[in-house]
């Protein structure tokens, strides 16, 4: 699953590249793009190209009110002032990823995670951003997994509109600390976590957010300038919240451009 929660009616080129990369590397997965915008522009360049080339992609416009009804998030959505907070769009995205996975199970990815390899060998996992925090930008859970049910319930019960990460990465971290009965992420083994896995940061965060500019620096033609991560790197989170204004030349040797050429051709 992907969610577009800003209300846009089509994807920009970077978002389209991300969606394409998942469909491209995982042809046997059905990729669902759920968009909160109404009257989608399916004839835009990005939407038309994706639909023509990837039969495993389904694009759906959802009505947020209908989507929340009869779920643990119904009261949060209709009876709180969540949409007046500083981080309303980000927190809506947090809410939707947990709710969608609780409804259907499966994979969730942020729209700034470029897939570099098939993801299907990995199930029931989240990814550590670093030694102290788990991320919420890449998740897989089986349908009705207790962890995702807990996430939806805790999101509604402990929502804080004024803390950006409280309802997303921090919530995932708190839930896994309780589920695994350990505090430190390095101690969260599948044995302690009842089969749930914590993937290493490198798997989807090969470039730490402190170094996000590395994706966009101009590079030469030396071997050291090539993206040559090993097979433990499944995807690359490109930190769009910080990098969206940086330009990418599709014919350059920027890391971003190299990944795009191979994963969203």
* pLDDT tens for each residue of 89-143: 999 999 999 999 999 999 999 999 999 999 999 999 999 999 899 999 999 999 9
Query: Which of these, 5, 82, 80, lies nearest to 36 by C-alpha position?
Result: 5
**Rounded to the nearest 5°, which phi and psi values hold at 108?**
-125, 140
User: CA 193, 197, 201: angle at the middle one, nearest 5?
Assistant: 125
Q: Record the pTM.
A: 0.94
Average pLDDT of 30-48? Answer: 96
- Highest CATH level, class, for 2-263: alpha beta
Q: CA-CA distance, 153 to 173, in Å (whole number)?
A: 15
Query: Which of these, 96, 97, 118, lies nearest to 22 by C-alpha position?
Result: 118
Query: Which of these, 148, 167, 169, 156, lies nearest to 103 by C-alpha position?
Result: 148
Query: Which of these, 119, 205, 142, lies nearest to 169 by C-alpha position?
Result: 205
How far, in whole angstroms, is CA 153 from its chain's centroid? 20
pLDDT of 245 reads 87
Average pLDDT of 64-72? Answer: 96
pLDDT single digits (tens) 165-184: 999 999 999 999 999 999 99
pLDDT of 223 reads 66
What is the maximum alpha-carbon separation in the chain?
A: 57
């Amino acid at each position: 699953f992907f969610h577009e929660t800003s209300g846009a009616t089509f994807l920009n080129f970077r978002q389209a590249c991300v969606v394409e990369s998942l469909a491209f590397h995982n042809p046997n997965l059905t990729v669902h793009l759920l968009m909160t915008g109404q009257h989608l522009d399916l004839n835009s360049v990005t939407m038309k190209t994706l639909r023509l080339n990837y039969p495993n992609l389904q694009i759906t416009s959802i009505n947020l009110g209908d989507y929340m009804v009869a779920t643990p998030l119904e009261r949060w959505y209709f009876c709180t002032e969540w949409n007046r907070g500083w981080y309303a769009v980000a927190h809506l995205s947090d809410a939707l990823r947990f709710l969608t996975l609780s409804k259907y199970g499966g994979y969730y990815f942020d729209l700034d995670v470029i897939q570099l390899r098939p993801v299907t060998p990995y199930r029931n996992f989240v990814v550590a951003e670093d030694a102290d925090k788990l991320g919420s930008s890449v998740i897989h859970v089986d349908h009705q997994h207790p962890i995702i049910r807990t996430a939806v319930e805790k999101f509604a019960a402990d929502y804080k509109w004024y803390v950006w990460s409280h309802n997303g990465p921090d919530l995932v971290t708190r839930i896994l600390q309780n589920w695994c009965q350990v505090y430190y992420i390095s101690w969260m083994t599948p044995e302690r976590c009842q089969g749930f896995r914590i993937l290493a940061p490198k798997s989807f965060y090969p470039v730490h957010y402190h170094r996000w500019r590395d994706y966009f620096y101009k590079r030469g033609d030396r071997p050291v300038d090539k993206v040559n991560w090993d097979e433990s790197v499944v995807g690359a989170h490109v930190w769009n919240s910080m990098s969206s204004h940086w330009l990418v030349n599709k014919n350059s040797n920027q890391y971003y451009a190299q990944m795009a050429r191979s994963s969203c051709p």
